Amino acid sequence: MKNTIPTIVTALGVSCLSASAYELHEWGTFTSVSGSDGVLLNGLHHEEERLPFFVRALDGMQNRGPGMVKGLIRPLKNVTIKMETPVIYFYSDEPFTAEVKVGFNGGSISQWYPERSAGETVPKIAKPLGFDSSLIPPFAALKSDVFKLAGGIDFSESRSGSIEWKVDVLDLKADRGLVFKPGETLNWLRPRNPKANVLKVGEQYEDYLFYRGVGNFPLPIKFTVDTNETLTISNLSSDKVPFMFVHEVTNEGVTRFHSIPNGLAASGVMKVTTSDLREHTDWHRPVYQEMFKGLTGTGLTAEESHGMIQTWWDSYFSRPGLRVFWVMPGSDTENILPLSVKPAPEKIVRTIVGRSEIIRPSMEQKMVKEFLIKDPKKSKWGQYLHDRFGHAYQQRVKQLLPKETAGK
């Protein structure tokens, strides 16, 4: 990637002119939860991984630590999608200055680093509630006047988020020690990429541009599970899904998976039975290898693929449940997360992975049974309610119960 335009280099190694040839790579995740009927469930405002204290956020949507939520002060409703850890890398032989803008159709970009130059805003909180309002289940919503005073956001209403950065892409010989910051977490370090250019935004340095968000929009793929426990995958997109990986940890702790390296054609439908899922006692290496091959097959570098898998390893693969990882078609990525960069890259690689958690009918039956047991000492309902997807589980149970029972 040689630059054919002469450059004037400052003391920081930043070109005063634009680069003519460079690559931009990005990876990230959309997380969703659906019932066996394929309908997306809400309540996905919980954080799964703590962010460092230096990460910026929209007012009232700061990350406060493990187990806390995106809307710590600001109440949120009808969040069906978590957009987690998109990171953007630059690869250039020459230093230059770039302007980056990312939109989010159907959601808000709630957290980011380095500091943005522009972006969406949220209404001011007229009257803070004094407690963690986002822990209130979305179906037991605050009264509308209180919700409004507390600056609440209802994501069932149309929303278009955005963020902009002005970035100095430094010379490849720039001191990589510049990116160090006290308070970095393990999952902040794992995406670090020694082959990418160090980025300078204002007086902040990092290997990548980071952002996160929450939203509510239909996905281009749907998952349903019938009473025979057969998973049906329907590609609703006009483009091919490049790669899919079905993974499950049973309640007994057994790991089983099924790789679909060729993905699913546009408008295609595929069925995965329980017998298609191979059980493994020593599953870590084969799961890692299959995911690595799938991600590099989309154009990510080895370093980027390692970073993504390792960042989300525990959340992806160590916890009970059925989930499908699938790479979003490029046209859908651009529709949901439109990206504009000046000067334009010679090549762009964007790998956004859908992480779809699906509740099996057998699990739904267990949750309903436990929910109906009134004695908390005998019921296991609490383990579902306090799960990272507890609000979604409770919404699904309410859907399955008779109306006269669900309202009690």
| pLDDT tens per residue across span 71-87 | 357 888 899 999 999 99
Given this model, what pLDDT does residue 20 score? 60
Given this model, what pLDDT does residue 160 score? 95
Asked if residue 345 and residue 396 are part of one domain, the reply reads no
| pLDDT tops 60 at residue 244 | yes
Asked if residue 381 and residue 251 are part of one domain, the reply reads no
Given this model, what pLDDT does residue 67 score? 41
Give helix 361-372 / helix 390-400 axis angle, nearest 10°: 80
Q: State which of 342, 359, 376 marks the end of a domain.
A: 359
Query: Which of 98, 24, 101 lies closest to 301 in space, CA to CA?
Result: 24
Asked if residue 153 and residue 13 are part of one domain, the reply reads yes
Asked if residue 93 and residue 173 are part of one domain, the reply reads yes
Q: How does residue 16 score in pLDDT terms, banded at 50, 70 and 90? A: very low
d(CA 335, CA 333): 5
Asked if residue 188 and residue 295 are part of one domain, the reply reads yes
What CA dihedral angle connects 384, 390, 396 and 397, to 10 degrees? 40
d(CA 159, CA 213): 12
Range of the domain at 385: 363-406
Given this model, what pLDDT does residue 403 score? 66
Tell me what the mean pLDDT of segment 232-254 comes to. 96
Tell me what the mean pLDDT of segment 134-151 comes to. 67
Mean pLDDT, the chain, rounded, equals 89
Highest mean pLDDT among 1-15, 67-81, 299-313, 375-389 belongs to 299-313
Asked if residue 266 and residue 348 are part of one domain, the reply reads yes
pTM of the full structure: 0.90
Asked if residue 277 and residue 179 are part of one domain, the reply reads yes
Tell me what the mean pLDDT of segment 269-285 comes to. 95
% residues pLDDT > 70 (the chain) = 87
Q: Which residue has the higher pLDDT, 325 or 74?
A: 325
Task: Convert the pLDDT of each residue in 105-139 to its tens digit.
Answer: 999 999 999 999 999 999 888 766 665 555 555 54
Q: How many domains does the chain have?
A: 2
Does residue 113 contact residue 56 with C-beta atoms inside 8 Å?
yes
| pLDDT tops 90 at residue 15 | no
Does residue 377 contact residue 345 with C-beta atoms inside 8 Å?
no
Task: Provide DSSP, 172-220.
Answer: TTS-GGGG--TT--HHHHTT--TTSPPEEETTEEESSEEEEEEE----S
Asked if residue 204 and residue 308 are part of one domain, the reply reads yes
Query: Which of 379, 350, 347, 353 lies closest to 366 in space, CA to CA?
Result: 379
Asked if residue 379 and residue 355 are part of one domain, the reply reads no
Asked if residue 168 and residue 294 are part of one domain, the reply reads yes
In the 8-state DSSP scheme, what is residue 139?
A: G
Given this model, what pLDDT does residue 144 score? 82
Asked if residue 378 and residue 299 are part of one domain, the reply reads no
In the 8-state DSSP scheme, what is residue 345?
A: P
Asked if residue 385 and residue 241 are part of one domain, the reply reads no
| pLDDT tops 80 at residue 213 | yes
% residues pLDDT > 90 (the chain) = 74
Given this model, what pLDDT does residue 83 score? 95
